């Protein structure tokens, strides 16, 4: 690396460190084929928008527990090394970086983070179910819908769709949990199917005492054959166990019988643990919490009401809130009035208010609107999972504001002696169940408006407290980071150097392009680099590629395990994790071949290289093999992307092919 380049990269590194919250906020540094990856003490201290304006940065985002800064193939290697040198920190492997990210959090933070990761994966399905449930509830209460065969049929189908999604939610959670903890997602689906098997008594019917439960005796222990409908916590626990067992057996079982024996042992062991330990423990814990909360409302007066509605939505996280149906039924039989229904309803409304509080603090963020608005709409129909898992738990302070708002709403319910004459619907549709005695309808509206306003207000205020702490930390961290960066790089004014060299860098880039091409290159044909189905780069699931942040590209869904050189070229760079190769063609164009999406997490497993850096290859030479069956089984997209990352002489790209392709088929022409 020459002196001018290093100065430019040092200026970039200084800006990245400053905008990341300072040296003290950076816990780990690594890179993949195109992105610089940082683990931060607090991601909220990073100024992502300002970082997008840093020299040579093509995009910035936070994924999971890492801040990812897109530089592009080749360049990211140098920037990462300069940044690591400047803050006196060794560049890590991606595996070590992940371990570092986990260590920075305490057990509670890790649990909340894992919970958030699991539900973000399945959030689109939860949102769809919530909105369909709300629509079904509205249509079901309209007389003209019942009188029209077509509208009634549509309403029935909507009801079936929404009920099916929520009915199989534990299966989705088990799938997402196994994937989150490194197992093969299909094993999560298998365990989800077992949890909801038709051979088991329905959990809701068992809770209400309307179905007989079969009991087995295994090793002297009674085992109830009851399904796990609504058993979110059980699904989470068995998902973690299944993932760990799957990883263990995949390592220990000999390869010759692994495909048959490993999944068998994982499924069998997980099933026994589900029915003998995890299921009973999860149910017992949730039932105990439920019993305590009900006792509080019956024996502690106003405090009991406030406490119940304050934390009731936390029970929804466990999935055991369906137990309340049996309790509500008994209340109606014994007293004719159901005081739990309005308490749960105001608790839901307060969480909706917290969503609006978060939205108000982030109103300019398009992503916040995209998530918060449908989440709040679903709350209006009594479905809070999208709000809880998609917003409030994810960003921490809204859940606090929502619980406080719920407690205040519960106090209003107690003071107005509000109750319901049935159960099953809440929030907006729930007004139909309100006991009209003592101005019940008016009090229902008042209690919900107060809960909504309180949830909004306290989420907003708690968010302000969080921001003050972050701003204080930003000041301290930035000062420390600038000092550390200056010392590490041996310069007292790195920003000035960056400004001074920016124009030189631009000229240098142009000069490099000219030097590599010598003159404006002639047309160069790019051939198919795999057998399979050709697709537009816009269709891939990685936004960096789909949005063409790194340049124009193509994608092929492979039909076999080999990836080939698309043109005569020199191998410039091979990722440590073997999933990406950069080539420099004869005409001087830089091409990135990226195998799979997020396959960097496999850390080289499933890949076999047939080339090395500096090697010359001919068009059609095999450059690597990938076990796409194993990659798919691990839950990763197998699409192979080719990115035209650096075109010499300002050349353009014309795509030539669509549909099925074989190796060497012309798929693009550069220049000419």
pLDDT tens string 543-560: 778 878 778 889 999 999
pLDDT tens string 25-41: 888 787 777 778 888 87
Name the average pLDDT for the chain. Answer: 79
- Whether 32 is catalytic is yes
Residue 538's SS3 state is helix
User: For residue 627, what is the DSSP state?
Assistant: -
Do 395 and 352 touch, CB atoms closer than 8 A? no
The band of 421, judged by pLDDT with boundaries at 50, 70 and 90, is confident
Q: What is the DSSP string of 42-100?
A: -GGGS-HHHHTTSTT--EEEEETTEEEEE--TTHHHHHHHHHHHHTT-PPPPHHHHHHH
Chain-centroid distance of CA 654 in Å reads: 35
Residue 517 or 324, more confident: 324
Asked if pLDDT for residue 356 goes beyond 90, the answer is yes
Asked if pLDDT for residue 98 goes beyond 80, the answer is no
Residue 452 or 428, more confident: 452
Q: Which of 473, 498, 501 is nearest to 486 (CA)?
A: 498
Q: What is the DSSP string of 216-232?
A: EEETTEEEE-B--TT-H
pLDDT tens string 298-309: 788 888 889 888
Asked if pLDDT for residue 486 goes beyond 90, the answer is no
Tokens of 277: 């330990």
Do 488 and 88 touch, CB atoms closer than 8 A? yes
pLDDT of residue 601: 80
Chain-centroid distance of CA 657 in Å reads: 34
pLDDT of residue 434: 84
pLDDT tens string 580-606: 999 988 888 889 999 998 888 888 888
- Using only C-alpha atoms, what is the Rg of the chain? 29
pLDDT tens string 557-580: 999 999 999 999 999 888 888 899
Do 655 and 554 touch, CB atoms closer than 8 A? yes
Q: Report d(CA 108, CA 570) in Å as an integer.
A: 49
Residue 251's SS3 state is helix
Chain-centroid distance of CA 73 in Å reads: 25
Asked if pLDDT for residue 53 goes beyond 70, the answer is yes
What is the CA angle 399-402-405, rounded to 5?
155
pLDDT of residue 477: 46
Q: What is the DSSP string of 169-202?
A: HHHHHHHHHHHHTTS-HHHHHHHHHHHT-TTSBP
Do 535 and 547 touch, CB atoms closer than 8 A? no
Q: Report d(CA 588, CA 574) in Å as an integer.
A: 18
The lowest-confidence range among 231-245, 379-393, 440-454 is 379-393
Provide mean pLDDT across the span 169-175. Answer: 88
What is the CA angle 383-386-391, rounded to 5?
135
Provide mean pLDDT across the span 389-395. Answer: 78
Provide mean pLDDT across the span 252-278. Answer: 91
pLDDT tens string 195-224: 999 889 888 788 777 888 888 888 888 888
Q: Report d(CA 75, CA 142) in Å as an integer.
A: 62
What is the CA angle 246-249-255, rounded to 5?
120
Residue 448 or 325, more confident: 448
pLDDT of residue 110: 62
Q: Report d(CA 434, CA 607) in Å as an integer.
A: 63
Among residues 32, 80, 372, 606, which one is catalytic?
Answer: 32
Asked if pLDDT for residue 172 goes beyond 70, the answer is yes
């Amino acid at each position: 690396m020459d002196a001018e380049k290093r100065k430019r990269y040092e200026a970039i590194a200084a800006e990245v460190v400053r905008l990341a919250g300072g040296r003290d906020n950076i816990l780990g540094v690594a890179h993949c084929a195109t992105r610089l990856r940082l683990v931060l003490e607090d991601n909220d201290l990073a100024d992502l928008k300002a970082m997008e304006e840093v020299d040579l940065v093509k995009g910035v985002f936070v994924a999971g527990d890492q801040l990812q800064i897109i530089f592009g193939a080749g360049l990211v290697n140098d920037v990462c090394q300069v940044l690591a040198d400047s803050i006196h920190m060794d560049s890590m492997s991606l595996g070590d970086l992940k371990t570092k990210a986990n260590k920075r959090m305490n057990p509670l933070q890790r649990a909340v983070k894992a919970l958030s990761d699991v539900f973000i994966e399945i959030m689109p399905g939860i949102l769809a179910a919530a909105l369909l449930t709300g629509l079904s509830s509205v249509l079901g209460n309209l007389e003209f819908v019942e009188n029209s065969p077509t509208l009634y049929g549509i309403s029935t189908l909507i009801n079936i769709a929404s009920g099916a999604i929520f009915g199989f939610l534990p299966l989705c959670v088990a799938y997402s949990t196994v994937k989150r903890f490194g197992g093969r997602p299909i094993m999560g689906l298998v365990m989800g199917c077992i949890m909801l098997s038709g051979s088991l008594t329905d959990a809701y019917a068992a809770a209400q005492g309307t179905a007989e439960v079969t009991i087995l005796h295994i090793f002297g222990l009674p085992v109830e054959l009851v399904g796990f409908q609504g058993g979110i916590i059980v699904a989470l626990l068995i998902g973690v166990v299944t993932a760990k067992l799957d990883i263990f057996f995949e390592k220990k079982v000999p390869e010759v019988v692994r495909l048959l024996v490993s999944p068998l042992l994982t499924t069998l062991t997980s099933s026994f643990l589900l029915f003998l330990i995890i299921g009973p423990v999860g149910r017992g814990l949730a039932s105990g919490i439920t019993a305590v909360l009900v006792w509080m409302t019956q024996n502690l007066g106003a405090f009991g009401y406030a406490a119940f509605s304050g934390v009731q939505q936390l029970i929804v996280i466990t999935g055991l809130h369906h137990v309340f149906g049996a309790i509500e039924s008994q209340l109606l039989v014994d007293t004719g009035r159901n005081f739990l229904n309005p308490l749960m309803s105001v608790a839901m409304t307060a969480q909706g208010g917290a969503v609006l509080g978060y939205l108000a603090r982030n109103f300019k963020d398009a992503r916040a609107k995209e998530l918060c608005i449908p989440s709040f709409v679903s709350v209006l129909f009594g479905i809070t999972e999208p709000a809880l898992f998609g917003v409030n738990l994810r960003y921490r302070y809204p859940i606090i504001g929502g619980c406080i708002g719920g407690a205040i709403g519960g106090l209003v319910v107690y003071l107005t002696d509000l109750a319901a004459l049935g159960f099953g619907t809440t929030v907006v549709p729930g007004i139909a169940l309100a006991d009209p005695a003592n101005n019940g309808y008016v009090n229902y509206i008042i209690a919900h408006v107060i809960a909504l306003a309180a949830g909004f207000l306290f989420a907003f205020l708690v968010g302000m407290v969080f921001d003050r702490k972050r701003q204080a930390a930003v000041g301290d961290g930035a000062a420390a980071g600038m000092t550390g960066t200056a010392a590490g790089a041996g310069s007292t004014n790195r920003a000035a150097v960056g400004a001074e060299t920016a124009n030189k860098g631009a000229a240098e880039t142009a000069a490099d392009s000219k030097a590599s091409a010598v003159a404006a290159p002639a047309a160069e044909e790019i051939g198919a680099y795999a057998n399979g189905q050709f697709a537009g780069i816009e269709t891939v699931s990685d936004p960096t590629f789909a949005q063409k942040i790194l340049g124009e590209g193509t994608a092929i869904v492979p039909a076999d395990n080999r990836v080939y050189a698309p043109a005569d070229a020199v191998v410039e760079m091979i990722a440590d994790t073997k999933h990406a190769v950069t080539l420099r063609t004869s005409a001087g164009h830089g091409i990135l071949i990226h195998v799979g999406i997020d396959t960097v997490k496999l850390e080289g497993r499933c890949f076999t290289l047939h080339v090395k850096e500096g090697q010359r290859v001919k068009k059609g030479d095999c450059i690597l093999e990938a076990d796409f069956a194993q990659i798919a089984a691990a839950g990763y997209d197998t699409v192979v992307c080719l990115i035209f990352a650096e075109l010499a002489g300002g050349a353009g790209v014309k795509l030539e092919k669509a549909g099925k392709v074989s190796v060497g088929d012309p798929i693009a022409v550069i220049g000419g």
